[in-house]
Structure 1
């Protein structure tokens, strides 16, 4: 079963791998010449505290499959049998370890922690895919939800319905940014693999393969930055990677159900996201400190307004 987490500490520790702009430029020059598989292999060896965050989009699934294949190759090179991908991830882990040891398999599984931010508003097809991925790769999924919320009902009881329409910034912070930062802290993340690509346009058009987040130093690796959607789709088919059935219905970039539609522009795969709004990112890949400050200011404003309303009501009585 997925590992659900909920704690209050959202601040990460300082990364031990610190790169200057000149160093990053040099590394990116080298990485640009490598295949995504080689980039990922380099990262698995070179970057401490490496994790992958995913909403099980096409690119993230390709990366997950590449990590799995690299891991199998590394174990084979060391004359160690890999854990079979076909075994059930729902099986009790202790029982798995016993069975694999008896059969001679190595009990070390997927080497990069896999994090899923459950906003509580994902398509059911996405949640079904999350389970299929766990089963296919025999990988434990670390699930992070909005603070102190296990369900949509919990969230709406505190913040009301359709918060994404009333306060888009607060919504993104609460369901994506805060859980994401909590995952970094709890897992000791110092480098995060993402599925962003330049062909997705918008803020991603000039994406570097390796970035350092301003203010925190958190490294972000985009191993498929140079790939097109067609290259991603070809890989999914060629290697029989589980993918979201919504892709067969015209969707290309899949987020929350209330802000995602089939792509309306063939040349812009993210054209189905946030229709009618001037935004291209959900908050996970924008200035964290700026967004947190704006969220805190918004909350203070709401609290002040509520206090003024309560005071006015008391005077009226």
Structure 2
């Protein structure tokens, strides 16, 4: 796995109306067309965020077909499912990803240090704080090195994502955010995975449509909200990466 590179690669913030016009121009196009544009314009300044869920492995496949040198990163919270690590390894092997292309981002605190400082099982008492330590802070560190990032969010996943642009400015992390799958449905994602025989997390076959940390992810009953298995009983559906 790669270590985080030093230095910073920033882009100037485009005017809001200019960016919206650009994003709107891709509304009738396919995700790979959005990627072709982004990977060309932000070459060597762009990174793919990969949780190894269905959407993200579809993007790995699309990106690899356009620019196989594009790096990806994943947030290793120390609480990932074994199945997530297994599909990570299958993806690396399938696409021949070089160690320098796969950036593993870990929290500054080990689980033991977090327990000593904030109490045991922080995810059960203060899940927002746990996400901040194990996800948001590492994400902030990695994104500081790039001018644009690619995500797998879709508009129909949650009300908080309903207005996501295909290309937008990420106000939280101050860089361009590319959401090629924003218009797609889950069915379209799975059709792509099957068509191109993309490796996927086996937990998806066991009623886990959305997969995060072991402590905060549960299976979902057929017909329920796909994200209802995340942070169950907390009224929380986002870790804060996409606000």
TM-score relative to the length of structure 1: 0.70
For residues 292-311 of structure 1, give each alpha carbon's deviation from its aligned partner in whole angstroms, at most 9, with x where no partner exists.
xxxxxxxxxxxxxxxxxxxx
Cα RMSD, aligned residues only: 2.1
Structure 2 residue corresponding to 1:60, chosen from 28, 47, 56: 56
* Contact 2:143/2:173 (8 A) holds in 1: no
Shift of 1:40: 0.4
Counterparts of 1:15 and 1:153, CA distance in 2: 35
Q: Which has the higher helix share?
A: 1
* Matched position secondary structure for 1:28: helix
Distance 1:148 1:273, change over 3 A: closer
Shift of 1:207: 1.4
Structure 2 residue corresponding to 1:175, chosen from 130, 134, 159: 134
Max radius of gyration: which structure?
Answer: 1
TM-score relative to the length of structure 2: 0.90
Counterparts of 2:229 and 2:3, CA distance in 1: 29
Ranges in structure 1 where 5+ consecutive residues have no aligned partner: 72-109, 287-317
Q: Does 1:189 align with 2:146?
A: yes
How many equivalent pairs are there? Answer: 239
* Contact 1:57/1:254 (8 A) holds in 2: yes
* Matched position secondary structure for 1:220: strand
For residues 136-171 of structure 1, give each alpha carbon's deviation from its aligned partner in whole angstroms, at most 9, with x where no partner exists.
11113110100153xx44543444321112222221
Q: Does 1:234 align with 2:229?
A: no
Ranges in structure 2 where 5+ consecutive residues have no aligned partner: none
* Matched position secondary structure for 1:211: strand
Residue correspondence of structure 1 range 88-127 to structure 2 within 5 A: 110-127=68-85
